[in-house]
Structure formats: C-alpha cells, structure tokens
Chains A and B, each alone.
Chain A
Amino acid sequence: MTEPTPSVPAVSPVSPGDTHLLRVLARDGALVDPASDPGIPDDDVVRLYAAMLALRVTEERMLTLQRQGRIGFYLSSLGEEACSFGVAYGLEPTDWVFPSYREPGVAFWRGMDFQSWVDNMFGNAGDPVLGRQMPVHWSAREQSIVSISSPVGTQIPQAVGVAYASKFLGHRTVALAFFGDGTSSEGDFHVGANFAGVWKVPAILFIRNNRFAISTPYHVTTAVEHLVSRAHGYGITGVRVDGNDLFAVTRAVREAADRGRSGGGATLIEACTYRVGAHSSSDDPKVYRKEDEVQPWREADPLARVRRYLEARGLWGDALERSTSDAASVRIIEAVKIAEKKSHPPLETAFSDVFAHPTPRLAAQRDACLAHVASGQSAFGRTHP
C-alpha cells in the first residue's frame, strides 16, 4: 500500500490512498468523532441495542439446535451484528437489500415475521421458501430483502441492476449488496463494481470484511491492505468504516444512500470487522486460527460498546439486559416449539414455482412423484410419515 503522494489530494474519498477508518464510538462507549455522529435518537439506540442483543440470543440458540441435530445448518453473525443493524438503520425501509448470509439483523429490524424465519431453519411448511434451500437461505419480499444464494458474489451485479431500474423509473430506492472479503475475489464483484461505476447508480457494495473466507485469511486472498482502495479503480466512492461500530456504519450507509439518491452514484463500503465465530456450523476454526487472535476482537465487541454508550447515559442497565435477553430466549424457544410441530411443505410444492405455470412435462413428473409417495414405496414417505 503506497501512501498518497503530496500531489494527490488525500481528502477525497475516492483517492486511492485514502483508507481513513471512520469510527464514531470507542470501545468504552465514548464518542471519539462527534462530528461524524449520525445522531441516532436515544430511543432508537435503545431499540437497536435490544434488537442486537435479541439477535445474539437467537443465533446462539440456532447453533445449539444445530449441534443437537434439530436443524441442519446455521451461519451466525456473532460479532458482526453492527453491520446488519447499521445498514438496516442507515437505509430507508423500502431500500432493497441483497444479503449474503450473516444479515438476519436487517430482516428483524424491518419486521420480518420471526416465526417464518425460524420455520426457514427447519424447512417446514411455514418456511417462506418452502424448504427449497438449506437453512439461512430465506427471502423476505415484504421487507425488500432478496432471496439468498449460495454462490457468493452473484448478488453484486444484480443489486446494480436493481439500482439501475430504480434510477430508470425515477424511484428513490437504493440497492445494497452485502458480501464478505472472500467474495471480493469473485469476478462478479469486479463486474458489478464496474457496472456500478459506469452507470452511476444508487448502489451500495457493502463488504463485511471479517478477515476470513471460511478458513483462508484475508492476506492470502487479497494483495491490498484495504479493500476500500478497490473503489478508486471503478470510479466509485469508497468508505472504510469500523464494522463493529453501529454509529459509524449507520453514518457511512446513510451518506452512501443519500449520495446515491442525489445522483452521486455508487459507494463501496469496507466494514472492518471480524468473524468471532465459525464460518458455519460445518466449520471448526480451531484448526486454522489461535484463540489469542480472536480475543482482541471479543474485546472490540459491537454490542458492548453500544451498551456502554447507553449505560453512560442512564438508558440501559443489568435489569434491562436480563429482561431483554430473557424475552428473546422465550421467543426463540416458543418459535422452535411451533416450528418443530409443523409438517414438511406439501409435496406438490417441490414442483411449483419452477415456472409461473408448470409445463406438461413437469406436471406429469409431479403426478408421478405424488403417486410414488402415495404408494408407500418412497424413501420420502419413510422419513416423513
């Protein structure tokens, strides 16, 4: 990483040398950069913190359920919650969001039905995507959140297409795509960033730089010190932000959205965070990283600093912490009870939504499948009596 030469103005956010880290809230909960404070009203900070805490309780429960074999898979946003909530709060509720994996926080903030989210983990009849994908791959159209895909990065040019359509139709909608530092190696990132630059559309490319592509650390996949410097090469604004700082993420996202809405084009946000947990329930980070690397990041916890901020203002305390946490526990336990009682999605839904209307061939295959299951000879019938 070369430092900016004196002839290059270092203040412009698109300067390749400008990798200034936007941070508003220090670990002790003090405002280190009051000028950048997004000024979130106290009531909303309380609501945001309570929602982050509830999410953490919920995700801990999900990982437990996976270990118990009650759900097949889970991916947690542990330690990265400020990214989801900063985005959710910084955007307008009708802005489009393309999640990658670790963004249930956006859905909850926007009011996605909690039971249907839990049902997705079980792939049951209440799952909004009818058990068609692994857990964590939900979809929430009412919340303007797009269906989640496993091939990483595909959502980036798609978000740029949404932003183009919004601009074309004269709408105010901004489209934001979440992805990780690992995904920034995919061609779709570079293609999407280039389209965003030439089209000057209201898109936000939000890199959750959590330092790992499953087991592979950042420096093994990326030769630049900071991913934000990629923005310059595509002619879009780049902003590097402390991803564990709810206020800073809110500030960066709100500014990027305003810039997009006012014709200023796309923004690449590099949110610097750390994947404190495993990549997924199928991963064991002890194989490839030491606990003493993780420990400093636990101390940089995004929830702790918001809590300290609130406590310093007399807006939060142990009683609220306990009651919020307990309520979240009860909510998830109750929802899981309900989810486990629900049956699998109706068999015929395996064949619906392939097209708007089934083709004759597909209809015949559906009927053959239903007949086989009805005959009692199907393996499915034995596993799902």
Chain B
Amino acid sequence: MATMNIIQAVNDGLRVAMRKDPRVVVLGEDVGKFGGVFRATLGLINEFGADRVIDTPLAEAGIIGAAIGMALYGLRPVPEIQFADFIYPAFDQIVNELAKYRYRSGGQYPCPVVIRTPYGGGIKGGHYHSQSPEAYFIHTAGLKVVCPSNPYDAKGLLLEAVAQDDPVLLFEPKRVYRASRGEVPEGEEFRVPFGKACVARAPRGQGTPMTIIAWGAMVHTCLEACALAAEAGLDPELIDLRSLSPFDEEALCESVKRTGRAVIVHEAPRTCGFGGELSATLQEQCFEFLEAPIQRVTGWDTPFPYTLEHAYLPDPGRILEACRAVASWS
C-alpha cells in the first residue's frame, strides 16, 4: 500500500484503467503534457500517447459531445471538465443526450461516459471555481453521480465508474485534493461499489446519538464538528454517502432509526439541494423514529462569494449548532 492524496489516487486509477482496457481514453482541456490544471492526468500522455490523452479545444459541449460519440462507438471515454463551474455549456449534452441515450434508443445505444470534475469551495476560487452543482445531475434520470471524500474511495469509485455501462459523473473534492491522504493499493484494480455509504465516524456510545450525513469535502468539516460535538456530550455517527445517485437509502434509514436524529450537510445552496431529497426520504421512511426535525446545514441561497466564502460554507460551528438543535429539541 502506498500513501496517496486524492490527486495521486485519481491519477493511479486512470493509469490502472487505461492499462487494463485499451478503449479507455482521457480528454479535456490541458489534460495532456500539462497533466490537467490539478495534475490528475499527469504523465498519462507519456505512457498512453496523445491519441488516448487528448488535449481538446476549450469547449465543454464539444468535450462531452465528442465523448458521447466515442462511447456510442465502443470506447470508454473519461472526459475531464476543468472545474464543475464550467460544466454548464455541456449541460444539454449531459442532461438531454448522455443521460437519455440508452432509454431513448430502446436500449440500442448505451453511453458509458465517465465525467470527472473538481467541485466545491474553500480554495479562494470565487463564484466560478467553487460551485457544487451535483443536484442538477442527481435530478436527471439516467445519470449516476458519485463524490468521494478520500483517496481510497476516489480511486475505487473511479474504477467502478469506468466498469459501469452507464454514464457517471465523478465530483472530486478539490478542497481536499491534496490534504486528504490515505493508504491506497497502488497500480492495482479495486472498486468501491455504487450505492453504498460508509461510516466516517462511528458512534462511541457516550452522549446523545445522532446521524450526520455528508459527502465529499464536507466529510472533513463534519469530522471536525464531530470532535466538537463529542466534547459537548453528543455522539454522532457520520455517514459518508460517497454515492449520491444511487444513494444508500438502507444505510441511512438504519442509522437514523437507531439514532432518531439526523443532520444533513452539503456545500451547495439549500433550496432544492440534495439534502432536501435526503430529508424527505428520511421523513417518509423513519417518521416514527425521529426525535427531532431533520436539520440541514448547507451553503446559503446566494451565488458563491469570494472574500466571504467561509461565511458561506458550512463550518464545524454551524454543524455543531445543528447537532445541538436535534439533541435538545422537545
């Protein structure tokens, strides 16, 4: 096992996928010699050549449109959208085309494209380098959406995505791209299954039980909040959702039925954020087990601010406040 950060794990995952399957190609802006603006594709062009690691024109609709064509014809394209904030020119290609191809063709044309894109704030990226647009895509029938919080899951989810016969969006938490480090089997193939959450902090059996649900970079913010919560006599179980569509309804409900309290945390704006769907699902499935109304801690319903980003993003203090609220509700 090697210790890697998320960038290195993604890079290793791409290398493993490309060595295993000659149909896998990578395309995007600056992914070739430069290795991508975050270096996730660094060195791939040396091993696999410029026709498998393709520097494209600067046009997201073209990147995804061409990737769709490649997939229809039998390749396994893994396009990179440089920042999730720039995915919107490709929105039509993703939502109306990629997501619908299998269905609208009566199953004649599956379209296995894996879109990788860094998302999220906390990096002084301002409005156009900080957004968390996952909900748009979770809302779209025909897309799978995953979001790792750590290097092991980043590689495992990427390899699972490439093995899928369905289109997948992989949102990579750029705030912790380098800060999150962990053991990852290097050069090997392993997969993290879709639709399975994991426990990022197990309850300790001391204090008021509750379930915190998060994904991506927010898992790390929630871990900080969990430490504060433990000091305050609370005992959260932190669930890292990992896979957003499909999501692990069973694991969430099992936990919330046990703890009776739920706090959902995400960076994206509150209104119609994925937390709303999770909250509604828990309310439907766990109503008689709930000790308190479900709390959401989210970005505000504003555009993502530059200077004031840490007032926008959920922080340990706000999460702790929500934990206290579910613990003390009566």
Contact = CB atoms under 8 A, between A and B. Distances in A.
Real complex partners, A and B? yes
A228 interface: no
A164 B195 contact: no
Given A158-B66, A168-B75, A188-B61, A352 B107 contact: yes
Contacts of A141: 105, 108-109
A161 B73 contact: yes
Given A163-B69, A165-B70, A157 B106 contact: no
B103 interface: yes
Nearest to A129: B106
A361 B57 CA distance: 38
B77 to A, nearest CB: 8
Interface stretch (B94-102, B223-231, B263-271): B94-102
A158 B102 contact: no
Interface in B45-101: 51-52, 56-57, 59, 61-62, 64-75, 77, 89, 92-93, 96-97, 100-101
A190 to B, nearest CB: 8
B1 to A, nearest CB: 32
B164 A356 contact: yes
A84 interface: no
Interface string A237-280: 00000000000000000000000000000000000000000000
A307 B71 CA distance: 42
Interface string A325-369: 000000000000000000000000000111110011100000000
B69 A354 contact: no
A317 interface: no
Contacts of B102: 353-356
Contacts of B52: 168
Nearest to A158: B69
A149 B105 CA distance: 10
Contacts of A147: 101, 104-105, 108-109
A96 interface: yes
Contact of B66 (A96, A161, A166): A161
A146 interface: yes
A138 B40 CA distance: 40
B74 A165 contact: yes
A157 B104 contact: no
B103 A162 contact: no
B65 A192 contact: yes
A164 B75 CA distance: 10
B59 to A, nearest CB: 5
A159 interface: yes
Nearest to A195: B62
A137 B67 CA distance: 22
B246 interface: yes
B123 interface: no
Given A146-B72, A359-B246, A360-B249, A129 B66 contact: no
Contacts of A96: 73
B198 interface: no
* A154, A187, A360 — most chain B CB neighbours (10 Å): A154
B233 to A, nearest CB: 36
Contact of B69 (A132, A175, A187, A198): A175
Contacts of A165: 69-70, 73-75
B61 to A, nearest CB: 5
A90 interface: no
A125 to B, nearest CB: 11
A162 B106 contact: no
A151 B90 CA distance: 13
Contacts of B100: 149
B104 A195 contact: no
A165 B101 CA distance: 18
Interface in A192-236: 192, 194-195, 198
B66 A157 contact: yes
B69 A159 contact: yes
A220 B187 CA distance: 57
Nearest to B164: A356
B68 A356 contact: no
A133 interface: yes
Interface string B226-266: 00000000000000000001100110000000000000000
Nearest to A191: B62
Nearest to A350: B103
A293 B298 CA distance: 60
A164 B66 contact: yes
Contact of B92 (A137, A154, A353, A361): A154
A87 interface: no
A127 B106 CA distance: 9
A98 to B, nearest CB: 9
A154 B93 contact: yes
Interface of A: 96, 127-130, 132-133, 137, 139-141, 146-147, 149, 151, 154, 156-166, 168-169, 173, 175, 187-188, 191-192, 194-195, 198, 352-356, 359-361
Which 6 A-B pairs give the minimum distances between C-beta atoms?
A161-B69, A157-B65, A161-B66, A147-B105, A165-B73, A191-B62
Given A129-B108, A158-B65, 13 more contacts: A129-B105, A139-B108, A149-B96, A154-B97, A157-B65, A165-B70, A165-B75, A168-B51, A175-B69, A191-B59, A194-B59, A354-B102, A359-B195
20 contacts: A128-B108, A139-B105, A139-B106, A139-B108, A141-B105, A146-B109, A147-B108, A154-B97, A161-B65, A162-B70, A164-B69, A165-B70, A165-B75, A168-B75, A194-B57, A353-B107, A354-B141, A355-B144, A356-B164, A360-B250
Interface of B: 25, 51-52, 56-57, 59, 61-62, 64-75, 77, 89, 92-93, 96-97, 100-110, 141-142, 144, 164-166, 195, 245-246, 249-250
